[in-house]
A and B are shown apart, each in its own frame.
Chain A
Amino acid sequence: MVHGEVWTAKELFVYPNEYIYWTIQIVMYPFMTGLVAGAFVLSSLYHVFGVKQLKEIARFSLVFSFALLPVAMMPLLLHLQFPFRGIEVMMTPHFTSAIAAFGIVFTTYGMIVAAELWFVYRKYFVETALELRQLTGRSVTQQFRYVLYSVLTLGAWDISEQALEKDERAVKLLAGTGIPVACFLHGYAGFIFGSVKANALWMTPLMPVIFICSAVVSGIALCIVTYIATMEIRKALHAWKQKSSPALPLLDEMKSAELQVVTMTARYLVMFLILAITLELLDLIFRGYTAVKSWDILRSVIYGKDFVNIFVIQYGMGNLIPFFLLLLPRLTIRRAVAGTLLVLLGVFMMRWNVVIGGQAFSSSFSGFMHYHLPIWPDNLETFKEGLFGALLVAITPFVLFWGLNKVIPVFPVKDTH
């Protein structure tokens, strides 16, 4: 069977070679990079602009952004026909293609985040390594940890006040340079779509901007949800531990998900949400007003075949409802969770409607293609480009975050900076 035939259903006249070639993984790709960029921008709000209320969530979102980073690449690799040739993007980059920049932008961004993390956690690395060095007769795990932290210090053992001050400045600088790079990383994901002149739905210069705005929205939303979730889990764990050993500090003293932080962050979310919706609607209105050749088929897709996906799920459930949920006074944690989850759904549906919706019509403008997401995988292809492949991508950042948390605790007992 031809690639794409399994999940494509054609209607009326579609060119013989046309199938839905870009599927769920290409929906996941901008969604995940969006989360990366958004999480990073959120952390930079504290580091660069000194939004003090975000201090708590800033470190958290920086680590989370780093955990999300490899996952931004994963859907692309799962989508490729030859995943092992993926390295060629770095070997023989063809920069007239938007995708070719991926290797370079991605590596640059990764290195910036890694460097920023290093500066934030350097004191912790040094202290832990020194602590372990003092131990005589280290166990295997302790030895491993000792070597790991020693390597992580990169040989910079100086944790004097002046040195730490330098770190602080470096963090600020990196966070500053990171913002445009993060925006570029994601804006250019929008450019990948926006520059395809063969696709009438994708081709708009607004695409990169829309992508950046919705990226920030989704990134902030995910950080809020994960932040609340981790806090609640820690609280529950703590309560459970307390039962066995009452010597531990009381529950109230434990830092809980501070409503203050959530409310503040939600404001930024709503701000970017408004920007994203404005641009999206502008694009839609402009298309309808100018009504070029492709408008007939676009209209039948937007207002007909994809009406529920676009207007009910994306704009209604994903934008309008959370807008009220987050803006109405006396925000509660529960409402914040519901609102941000809906926002995540809305951004995901926006990616879906762009990627899948853009392929819902033939470039002959006289036929349609329907996408049936493969649920149960019966071969590697339907796994990779099906529900389970997407779930794999969605779960990985949380696993990575958990693993990272073992090495660089997001909620340390001792306060780093």
Chain B
Amino acid sequence: MISRRNFCKKAMLFIGGVAVPVAGLEIFNPQRLLAEKQDPAKVRWVFLVDTRKCVGCGFCVRACKLENEIPYDANVSRTWVERYVVTRDGKVHTDSPKAARDGFTTKAIDQAGKGMLEIRDEDITKAFFVPKLCNQCENPPCVQVCPVGATYQTPDGVVLVDRTWCIGCGYCVMGCPYGVRFFHPVYKAAEKCNFCYHRISKGMKSACVEACPFGARTIGNIKDPEDPVTRIIMTERVAVLKEEYGTKPQVFYLGMSKEVK
């Protein structure tokens, strides 16, 4: 005869014995682990920046901040524009005051703690603007280092952050060689450019692309050979940023210069 005490004991053991492997399998579902990328996606978003067309008006930054609800006065931004001024002595001066939210309305270079640097017009040998945004890397280091799976790559190649799951460790911020990540001042979670995922998934273009009056920013689908952006990337000489990190960035640049960091 089985006593009640014994029955309870055995039942607990059994439940525990079943629950543990079931719960264990939850983490390592072999089938899911095997599910390799078979590349079923028909869309892979890429970005094309023509630095020769950029005039540094900063409308893109403004539009981005308003569209994506990044507090307007906070000193962080999903996208920004850099100014490069090369002088006769070979020095490169770079700045991006307030992420170029209000454009570049002074000739002086903002050197942060070192104050403003006035440069005489005749000393300038080369000067241009470079818009920056998330590269939506093919091998995103920020996703690799997220300890909890709060950031991930969508099947169409965009890297997103789950604000309800991010623990805010900052490892992704450290892992990004491009410095595009930051903590959202309101939501506190890690934040980054996502090509305006809510727009592109509705067939619209990113806010910065719409806001650019000069056509310096364009977005396209590299899987579609008819896409004008794809055509340019396929046929013209384009560059990417910091290729040496092996991130396979998907923001392509026309008119790139060696000074660009």
Q: Direct contact between A and B in the complex (CB less than 8 angstroms)?
A: yes
Residues of A whose CB lies within 8 Å of any CB of B are 1-5, 9-19, 21-22, 76, 79-82, 85-86, 88-89, 91-94, 96-100, 102, 192, 195-199, 293, 362-367, 370
Contact of A99 among B111, B166, B171 (CB under 8 A): B171
Which chain B positions have C-beta within 8 A of A363? 177-179
Complex Cα distance, B147 from A94, in Å, reads: 5
Q: Is the interface of A mostly helix, strand, loop or mixed?
A: loop
Which chain B positions have C-beta within 8 A of A91? 148
Which chain A positions have C-beta within 8 A of B175? 196-198
Complex Cα distance, B175 from A3, in Å, reads: 17
Q: Is the CB of B169 within 8 A of A80?
A: yes
Q: Does B220 contact A (CB under 8 A)?
A: no
Which chain A positions have C-beta within 8 A of B185? 1-3
Which chain A positions have C-beta within 8 A of B176? 198
Q: Which residue of chain A is the closest to B132 with respect to CB atoms?
A: A15
Shortest B93–chain A CB gap in Å is 8
Supposing A81-B166, A198-B174 touch, asked if A16 and B96 sit within 8 A by C-beta, the answer is yes
Complex Cα distance, B74 from A197, in Å, reads: 28
Shortest B23–chain A CB gap in Å is 11
Supposing A197-B245, A198-B176 touch, asked if A5 and B75 sit within 8 A by C-beta, the answer is yes
Which chain B positions have C-beta within 8 A of A3? 182-183, 185, 188
Complex Cα distance, B259 from A371, in Å, reads: 27
Which chain A positions have C-beta within 8 A of B82? 13
Shortest A28–chain B CB gap in Å is 15
Complex Cα distance, B74 from A367, in Å, reads: 20
In the A-B complex, the 10 residue pairs with the closest CB atoms: A81-B168, A15-B179, A99-B147, A198-B177, A10-B112, A13-B94, A17-B182, A11-B113, A16-B99, A100-B147
Contact of B167 among A12, A22, A85, A365 (CB under 8 A): A85
Given contacts A16-B75, A17-B173, A21-B173, 18 further A-B pairs with CB under 8 A are A3-B182, A13-B93, A15-B132, A16-B179, A82-B166, A88-B167, A89-B147, A89-B148, A93-B147, A93-B148, A98-B145, A99-B147, A102-B147, A198-B245, A364-B261, A365-B261, A366-B94, A367-B112
Q: Is the CB of B144 within 8 A of A96?
A: yes
Contact of A97 among B95, B171, B188 (CB under 8 A): B171
Contact of B174 among A21, A79, A362 (CB under 8 A): A21
Q: Is the CB of A366 within 8 A of B261?
A: yes
Q: Is the CB of B167 within 8 A of A82?
A: yes
Complex Cα distance, B141 from A94, in Å, reads: 13
Residues of B whose CB lies within 8 Å of any CB of A are 27, 74-77, 80, 82, 92-96, 98-99, 111-114, 132, 141, 144-150, 165-171, 173-183, 185, 188-189, 244-246, 261
Q: Is the CB of B261 within 8 A of A94?
A: no
Shortest A192–chain B CB gap in Å is 8
Q: Is the CB of A82 within 8 A of B181?
A: no
Shortest A114–chain B CB gap in Å is 21
Q: Which residue of chain A is the closest to B259 with respect to CB atoms?
A: A366
Q: Is the CB of B183 within 8 A of A93?
A: no
Q: Is the CB of A12 within 8 A of B112?
A: yes
Contact of A9 among B75, B113, B141, B173 (CB under 8 A): B113
Shortest A10–chain B CB gap in Å is 4
Complex Cα distance, B148 from A19, in Å, reads: 23
Q: Is the CB of A2 within 8 A of B182?
A: yes
Shortest B10–chain A CB gap in Å is 19
Shortest B185–chain A CB gap in Å is 5
Q: 8 pairs across A/B with beta carbons < 8 Å?
A: A11-B114, A12-B112, A13-B95, A15-B96, A16-B98, A85-B165, A89-B167, A96-B144
Q: Is the CB of A81 within 8 A of B183?
A: yes
Complex Cα distance, B182 from A198, in Å, reads: 15
Complex Cα distance, B145 from A293, in Å, reads: 24
Which chain A positions have C-beta within 8 A of B96? 13, 15-16
Complex Cα distance, B98 from A16, in Å, reads: 7
Complex Cα distance, B168 from A86, in Å, reads: 9
Q: Is the CB of A17 within 8 A of B76?
A: yes
Shortest A199–chain B CB gap in Å is 6
Shortest B240–chain A CB gap in Å is 15
Complex Cα distance, B3 from A320, in Å, reads: 71
Most buried by A among B146, B170, B180, B189: B170
Which chain B positions have C-beta within 8 A of A86? 167
Q: Which residue of chain A is the closest to B180 with respect to CB atoms?
A: A17
Complex Cα distance, B188 from A94, in Å, reads: 21
